[in-house]
Amino acid sequence: MILNLAALLADGDTFVDIGANAGIYVLTLARMRALLPRARFYAFEANPDTFARLAVHAGAMGVEAHNVALSDREGTLEFIGGAVSNVFTTIENASAYSMPGKAVSVPCKRLGQFEIAGDSLILKIDVEGQEMAVLNGAADFFAAKRVKAVYLDGYKEKAVEQFLRERGFVFLEGKTLASTGGGVFSLLALHPEKCAVRDAAG
């Protein structure tokens, strides 16, 4: 999937990694700055311990990293850890992979509250059930037609697809790039005005 996102990234694009974990996506793509000097990179990771690992390399790679959870409001969210770092999630979205224990209170903000540079944004979202809150918090960027693509590494609600369709996005299966009507785990949503894509899925 990283290869598909790399192929999508153009000079002047902005890659925003939401739920960045230790940074495998954003740090790998940030290496392309040598070829795409005007590209910009942002990372958001809620888990303080995981963020510390991300931060070790983020600055040197030109990635602006934030230890904050993205949502549809400003405040705090209660998170619970998991068997591995990539299932750190809110208490409401706890699953069989969550580990019972003390909740961690994490500050949250809307993506729209951040100064994100550029008018061609690629959003990668991996937030363990918080997808709609993240999208609603980024609504201003969609309204301004600044979003080129959204890659979702899993999503909980069908409302995610409705949100993107209403804003003109068409869907591909994220790994194979086959056209799809939705209902896949890895969803790559592209805006035809910013990408050379047609809606073959109807």
Show the domains of the chain with their CATH numbers.
2-69+117-190 (3.40.50.150)
pLDDT in tens, the chain (202 residues): 899 999 999 999 999 999 999 999 999 999 999 999 999 999 999 999 999 999 999 999 999 999 999 999 999 998 776 555 455 565 565 545 545 666 788 999 999 999 999 999 999 999 988 999 999 999 999 999 999 999 999 998 999 999 999 999 999 999 999 999 999 999 999 999 998 765 444 4
Q: Which two tokens stand for residue 14?
A: 């902005």
Mind giving me the DSSP string for 75-128? EEEEEE-BSSGGG-EEGGG--TTB--S--EEEEEE-GGGS----SSEEEEE--T
Length of the chain: 202
- The CA distance from 45 to 96, in Å, is 22
CA distances from 81 to 74, 85, 97 (A): 22, 7, 9
